[in-house]
Amino acid sequence: MKSAWAARKDICDFIAIHPLPADANKDEAVAKHRAFIEEVVRTPIGRNRFLKFVQYVQTDAATSAITALGVPAPRKMIMSHIVVEDPEHMREVLCDSDIRFLVNKAKITVPGYGQQSTMSTLDTVSQRGSATTTAEDNYQTAFAVFRIPNDVPSQLFEQKIRSFADVVMGSSFVRERTLDYTLWSQNSAVVSEVTNHIALPAPERFAIIKYEASTPPAVTMMGSTEVQDLVVNELMGGEGPLGPTGDIFVAEKSVILEKI
């Protein structure tokens, strides 16, 4: 049987995850982070190498529905998704003196930046849902950011996530409302550049589900009995449940740059 998952090989995805301190003013932190990444995009290396740059901000739109099912509330966080042509271009970005200067400035100006931040290039696989949309349509993006426990091999954890996603996408209720279901798993292509050139911590082990849903939005779907059963039985139940390790949330999306 042909796999429903398709790997993306023609570009390189990079993610930066920035959890905010518990006492941070979220609106102020997001504004400062936005100013920082806009400066990054305006650098010569950014203008030359970035194909896409998106800021995602965790919201509490679905938190009540998620926590009611026994899933922990997500951390406040901001994520930056960058697309370049290949890992070598991302290495060039991270080694650039302008980028290093701006990252060092962000460690001072953006609350908590660099203290718990983690970033990595990614391996990307995705499934298309049955929903259709146009550029003008309104749709929502939700994330599940899973921290991989120290005693669990990354490959095994990612297999569990893919199995969970297969069960979810096997639901006609979910598939009919899904645009894209993407699994991002980290690789080691730029670990040296992150730790040595911009002096940020070595990335924590993580895997990310990015879920894009048409209207009715993802938060509305959480109210369905079928989706609630999937969360309780597949995400939180069984051997080695995934839910306790993850931050699950609907995100606010801001496109800073888009060439593709």
Question: What domains, with CATH codes, occur in the chain?
Answer: 6-258 (3.30.70)
For the four alpha carbons of 85, 90, 93 and 99, in that order, the dihedral sign comes to: positive
Per-residue pLDDT of 201-216, as tens digits, reads 999 999 999 999 876 5
Whether residue 52 is predicted with pLDDT greater than 50 in this model: the reply is yes
Structure confidence at residue 1 (pLDDT)? 43
Question: What's the rounded Cα separation, in Å, for the pair 174 and 195?
Answer: 40
> Residue 30: what pLDDT?
98
Q: What is the mean pLDDT of the chain?
A: 91
The more confidently predicted of residues 1 and 225 is: 225
140 with 211: CB under 8 angstroms? no
Partners of residue 7 on adjacent β-strands: 125
pLDDT value at 24 more than 90: yes
The alpha-helical segments, DSSP class H, found in the chain are: 26-42, 44-49, 63-67, 87-95, 97-109, 154-169, 172-175, 191-192, 218-221, 225-230
pLDDT, tens only, 158-190: 988 898 889 889 988 888 888 999 999 999 999
Is residue 55 scored above 90 in pLDDT? Answer: yes
- What is the mean predicted confidence (pLDDT) over 216-229? 73
Residue 148: both structure tokens together: 């991989």
Strand (E) or helix (H) holding 56? strand 52-58
Q: What is the pLDDT of residue 215?
A: 61
pLDDT top residue among 173 and 94: 94
